[in-house]
């Protein structure tokens, strides 16, 4: 798997040169700026980077939930390879409010947001919210839909699932609400699950439980997962491959093990050096990445990371690097690895 690899029978989602911009009164935010990624079936892709790098906008673009105006997909393709068929549909060309996109959203691609209380309706019982999704996508009656909701709550190992059906979101703990969101997302057996910071604001024990649960459920429903996070520990536990984003672009892509042991892009190296590790010997101080992320409205002629990079050269400030293959399945966008 590589960001620019051609799609094949094992591909479920293919993103080509995706550009999502937000048009403000006096400037333009290039939140996603020419991203290429390929997601194989039954695999997990980790999408990492600092806040504001475009990770969540990428997920919202796939789900066609970008608010317009000011946001708009201005270019590229989001090709969904439908399970069990040879049909390929470009999500980027669909009407966000159209019937086809509504069938895909929740039915074929589901999302777990980082804050369940912002996603669950506080006025409706948990069971009714899951049952509604099942009724829309699987055409079941209310009783069968509630039975499916109970089945999903049991599957995500929530305590007293029958009782939770009749409770409201505010009556549940943060970990329980996150489990409800996963149950809701997987209730229609989607081909792709997008998890946007699924463990944010949860304590370490609950985080581990949620990640273990997602791994178990992935094997049960044969779904592919895109996990979006700034937590490299989560990525190391969950992902088969990792894409590192910086200011709207993918700057490095590799298998998880290789990325952690042989990072190439200076930004990836900086991220790994800034993570605290228990029992680390030698240097006791973390090495933060110097400088600040440029404003998303800045027009940068060269590499966006150049002002913060310890290896920056003249060409880095003048011309943007392209993704180069370092080894099979490992690419990076850095002038240090350009033949020129």
Cα 181 to Cα 115, 142, 184, distances in angstroms: 9, 20, 5
The closest of 167, 187, 160, 175 to 125, measured between CA atoms, is 167
**Mean pLDDT, rounded, for 291-297:** 85
The structure tokens listed for 245 are: 């984003």
Whether 119 has a pLDDT exceeding 70, the answer reads yes
Those residues with Cβ within 8 angstroms of residue 57's Cβ, 6 or more apart along the chain or in another chain? 20, 31, 32, 66, 71
The closest of 181, 218, 3, 190 to 80, measured between CA atoms, is 190
Whether 7 has a pLDDT exceeding 60, the answer reads no
**Mean pLDDT, rounded, for 67-85:** 89
Q: Provide the pLDDT confidence category of residue 75 given band limits of 50, 70 and 90.
A: very high
Cα 199 to Cα 165, 220, 251, distances in angstroms: 23, 21, 24
Whether 87 has a pLDDT exceeding 60, the answer reads yes
Distance CA 134, CA 140 (A): 7
- The answer to whether 61 touches 68, Cβ cutoff 8 Å, is no
Q: Provide the pLDDT confidence category of residue 280 given band limits of 50, 70 and 90.
A: low
Q: Provide the pLDDT confidence category of residue 176 given band limits of 50, 70 and 90.
A: confident
Cα 173 to Cα 168, 169, 179, 191, distances in angstroms: 11, 8, 10, 28
Write down the residue that tokens 């969540």 correspond to. 56
Distance CA 214, CA 120 (A): 19
Q: What is the pLDDT of residue 201?
A: 65
pLDDT tens, residue by residue, 193-225? 998 887 776 677 777 777 887 887 777 778 899
What average pLDDT is seen over the chain?
86
Q: Provide the pLDDT confidence category of residue 4 given band limits of 50, 70 and 90.
A: very low
Q: What is the pLDDT of residue 5?
A: 42
The structure tokens listed for 68 are: 């317009």
Provide, rounded to the nearest whole percent, the portion of the chain with pLDDT above 90: 41
End-to-end CA distance of the chain: 26
Task: Identify the helix (H) or strand (E) that includes residue 11.
Answer: strand 11-23
Q: Provide the pLDDT confidence category of residue 8 given band limits of 50, 70 and 90.
A: low
Q: Provide the pLDDT confidence category of residue 116 given band limits of 50, 70 and 90.
A: low
Cα 37 to Cα 9, 105, 199, 230, 303, distances in angstroms: 16, 20, 24, 18, 20
pTM value surpassing 0.85: yes
28: β partners:
23
Q: What is the pLDDT of residue 219?
A: 76
Distance CA 330, CA 323 (A): 10
């Amino acid at each position: 798997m590589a960001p620019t690899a051609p799609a094949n029978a094992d591909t479920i989602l293919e993103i080509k040169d995706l550009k999502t911009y937000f048009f403000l009164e006096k400037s333009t935010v290039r939140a996603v700026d020419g991203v290429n990624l390929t997601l194989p079936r039954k695999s997990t892709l980790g999408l990492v980077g600092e806040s504001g790098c475009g990770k969540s906008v990428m997920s919202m673009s796939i789900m066609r939930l970008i608010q317009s105006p000011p946001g708009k997909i201005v270019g590229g393709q989001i090709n969904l390879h439908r399970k069990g068929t040879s049909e390929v549909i470009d999500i980027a060309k669909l009407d966000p409010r159209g019937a086809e996109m509504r069938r895909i959203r929740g039915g074929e691609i589901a999302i777990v947001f980082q804050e369940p209380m912002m996603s669950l309706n506080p006025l409706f019982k948990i069971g009714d919210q899951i049952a509604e999704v099942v009724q829309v996508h699987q055409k079941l009656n209310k009783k069968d839909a509630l039975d499916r909701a109970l089945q999903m709550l049991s599957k995500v190992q929530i305590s007293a699932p029958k009782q939770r059906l009749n409770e409201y979101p505010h009556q549940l703990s943060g970990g329980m609400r996150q489990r409800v969101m996963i149950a809701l997302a997987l209730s229609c057996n989607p081909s792709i699950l997008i998890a946007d910071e699924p463990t944010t604001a949860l304590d370490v024990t609950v985080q581990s439980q949620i990640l273990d649960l997602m791994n178990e459920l992935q094997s049960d429903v044969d779904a592919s997962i895109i996990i979006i996070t700034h937590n490299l520990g989560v990525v190391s536990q969950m992902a088969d491959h990792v894409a590192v984003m910086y200011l709207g672009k993918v700057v490095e892509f590799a298998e998880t093990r290789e990325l952690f042991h042989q990072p190439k892009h200076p930004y990836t190296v900086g991220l790994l050096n800034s993570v605290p590790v228990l029992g680390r010997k030698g240097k006791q101080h973390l090495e933060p990445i110097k400088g600040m992320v440029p404003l998303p409205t800045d027009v940068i002629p060269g590499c966006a990371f150049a002002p913060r990079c310890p290896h920056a050269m003249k060409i880095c400030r003048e011309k943007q690097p392209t993704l180069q293959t370092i080894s099979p399945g490992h690419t990076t966008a850095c002038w240090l690895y350009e033949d020129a």
